[in-house]
């Protein structure tokens, strides 16, 4: 049997950072990609991929259009869950909790670090809304490219980040014969409690 098991760490955030750093070395692309589940206020769930752009003791940050389906769902119901799966490492990390919006300064700083065309794309995309055709999108890209021809591209007011503040994490490490190793971290008043679960 493969003896690589989940090492309990003092902080689930530092364990997540460790696993992410290893995924960055071994994944063929997008090692920070995670499935993000949200739900409407009456409990209808949806899931999609996003890129994790911040990971520290405060939580897990992703960026998106505030008019998108996910953002509107989070507005009505701030509970969310993520699930990362790294095939190259045979590992999974889950987390769930409540989201908060990041500060304008934080969103501005991340937006400024993006390639210019991605910044233009953030202006041009009315994310999750129907478009008549690809041409309509290309026209909007051309319009915003012309508008921001000179100088820095500012962050659109309708584009920002969310920070998921987890109440629970689960670290899952594949083992042979499906005898996997699972460790759950639950937030408590004085830190985190851990327990192993049957696979
Ligand atoms: C690997 C990957 C990474 C993605 N990263 C993001 C992201 O960071 N932010 C984002 O808004 N959409 C991202 N997307 C697109 C989303 O999955 C989704 O199509 C889009 O955000 C609209 O979702 P919604 O209508 O549920 O809001 C990504 C898609 C993939 C496949």
pTM strictly above 0.75: yes
For residues 98 and 40, what is the distance between their CA atoms, to the nearest angstrom? 14
Fold of 12-113+158-197: Pnp Oxidase; Chain A (2.30.110)
Report residue 2's pLDDT band, with 50, 70 and 90 as the boundaries.
very low
Is 178 one of the catalytic residues? yes
Is residue 30 within 6 Å of ligand 1 at its C-beta?
Answer: yes
Atom of ligand 1 nearest to the CA of 62: 8
Is residue 128 within 6 Å of ligand 1 at its C-beta?
Answer: yes
Q: Active-site residue among 178, 182, 187, 196?
A: 178
pLDDT in tens, 28-71: 999 999 999 999 999 999 999 999 999 999 999 999 999 999 99
What is the model's pLDDT at position 3?
52
For residues 65 and 61, what is the distance between their CA atoms, to the nearest angstrom? 14
In the reported structure, the alpha carbon of residue 78 is separated from the centroid of ligand 1 by a whole-number distance in angstroms of 18
What is the model's pLDDT at position 33?
98
CA distances from 38 to 18, 22, 70, 185 (A): 26, 27, 6, 21
């Amino acid at each position: 049997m493969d003896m690589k098991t989940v090492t309990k760490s003092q902080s689930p955030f530092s364990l997540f950072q460790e696993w992410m750093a290893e995924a960055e070395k071994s994944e063929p692309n997008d090692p920070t990609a995670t499935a993000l589940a949200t739900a409407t206020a009456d409990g209808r769930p949806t899931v999609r991929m996003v890129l994790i752009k911040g990971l520290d003791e405060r939580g897990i940050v992703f960026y998106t259009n505030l008019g998108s389906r996910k953002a509107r769902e989070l507005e009505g119901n701030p509970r969310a869950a993520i699930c990362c799966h790294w095939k190259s490492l045979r590992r999974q990390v889950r987390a769930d909790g409540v989201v908060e919006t990041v500060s304008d300064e934080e969103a501005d700083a991340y937006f400024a670090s993006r390639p210019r065309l991605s910044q233009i794309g953030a202006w041009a995309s009315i994310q999750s809304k129907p478009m008549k055709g690809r041409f309509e999108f290309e026209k909007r890209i051309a319009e915003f490219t012309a508008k921001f021809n000179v100088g820095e591209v500012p962050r659109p007011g309708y584009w920002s980040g969310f920070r998921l503040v987890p109440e629970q994490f689960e670290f899952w490490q594949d083992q042979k014969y499906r005898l996997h190793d699972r460790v759950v971290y639950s937030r408590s008043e004085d830190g985190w409690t851990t327990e192993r679960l049957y696979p």
